[in-house]
Amino acid sequence: MEQCLKCRKLNQWKKKKENVVIIGKRNIFGTGIESTYDRDNISGKTILELKLKVWLCLSHLEAVKQEMHDTIVQEVKQNVSTVQDKLTSLENNVKEVVSDVKTDDEESDGCNKNTCINYMGDSIVCGRRNALACGTKMAFNFYYGYLKLILPAENSTQGLKIRINSYIKDECLSDNAFPMKKLIILIPQNAYIPTSLNELSVDDPNDGSKYWIESVKPLKPETVERNGWKRDFHLPVYKIKDPDSTCSRGDYVVAEFATPLKVISDIIHNSLVPRISEAFKIYQYEIISSFHKSLLERISKNNDGCKDLCEVIYYRDTMNGKRVNVGRVILDKIHSRNSSCYQWK
């Protein structure tokens, strides 16, 4: 049956549509207009142009990809370089702090501050374990580099007891003027170490007339020769008396703070590197406690005579926001060690 005119035109349109292909839109050929080509009438030149445009597009994408890669790599290198510069700057700051520390007073008490700061500055930020190791190391330095040199007679020219007896004779004192013929080593919990003991020997800071401790003439210096060098060691002497007591005389003691703890105090309050200073504040009590325990262990385990020549007092130096009277602390320790009253007559 012969098709109607309308049907014939529809079939012709369908056949023509099959011979048409849409090739490309914007961002590929750069025209922004859809292009249609008759498949039967596409020439070789047109196909070559299309292939060229596709190749240019792919080349552009590859160039963009490479540019992005190079940019990212460059930014990463810059960030790494910045981090390395900061680490180098921090290391230089630590070295400057170490180089500025004077060593004259350090060697006299057996603790080398440079050694302590180098060791502690590098390790204390690693945690509590290294904080305890710092305290132990300071105790070893203090014992072997100081106490063992000045206390026993075998390592010095006289020894502590001979020096105290000579002091009693020279000052015309009674034999029991020193109720404890030992070196009293004070370890305050907060590591606060003033210039002299008498600064902390008052119950009421506002009453400056009732100090318990008075500085007197020190012991004769002890000269120790070690590794080819000679050094004089000085030990201070204090007279302690309760100002409210009816007794007119006081007790004489040889006492000093554990000077290695001054290193901790200096770093906490004067460090030029805030990160290290903050770390010392965090582990301050662990370091001091470790120092105290390690020092007692060294003293008790060694049979070199130091055990009977020193008395370690670890005490809480601040209560209710006020400094504790260190004179009262010393007298309480003397009283606990002696069965009789500590005031001599």
Q: Model confidence over 65-94: pLDDT tens digits?
A: 888 888 888 888 887 777 777 777 766 665
CB 273 within 8 A of CB 281: no
Spatial contact of 94 and 87, defined as CB atoms under 8 Å apart: no
The pLDDT of residue 285: 87
For the chain, the structural domain boundaries read: 71-100, 103-337
Report pLDDT for 344: 40
Eight-state DSSP code of residue 272: S
Contacting residues for 301 by C-beta, under 8 A, at least 6 apart: none
Residue 60 has pLDDT above 90, yes or no: no
Higher pLDDT, 227 or 27: 227
What gap in Å lies between CA 133 and CA 135, rounded to an integer? 5
Entry field: residues in the chain: 345
The pLDDT value recorded for residue 95 is 58
pLDDT of residue 203: 76
Asked if 124 and 283 count as a contact pair (C-beta separation under 8 A), the reply is: yes
Whether 155 shows a pLDDT value over 80: the answer reads: no
Q: What is the mean pLDDT of the chain?
A: 75
What is the pLDDT at residue 168? 94
User: What integer pLDDT is reported at residue 93 of this predicted model?
Assistant: 62
Q: Using alpha carbons only, how large is the chain's radius of gyration in Å?
A: 42
Rounded-to-integer distance, Cα 71 and Cα 215, Å: 72
Dihedral sign (CA 89, 93, 96, 98): negative
The pLDDT, as a whole number, for residue 338 is: 72
Region 274-282: what's the mean pLDDT?
Answer: 75
Interval 23-42: pLDDT, tens: 444 344 444 444 444 455 55
The residue with greater pLDDT, 184 or 159, is 184
In order, the DSSP letters of 35-48 are -EEEGGG--HHHHH
- pLDDT per residue as tens digits for the range 110-148: 444 444 444 444 444 455 666 678 888 899 999 998 998
Report which DSSP code applies to 143: I
Q: If we measure between CA atoms, which residue out of 222, 221, 216 comes closest to residue 252?
A: 216
For 103-337, CATH gives: 3.40.50.12100
Confidence of residue 188 (pLDDT cuts 50, 70, 90): very high
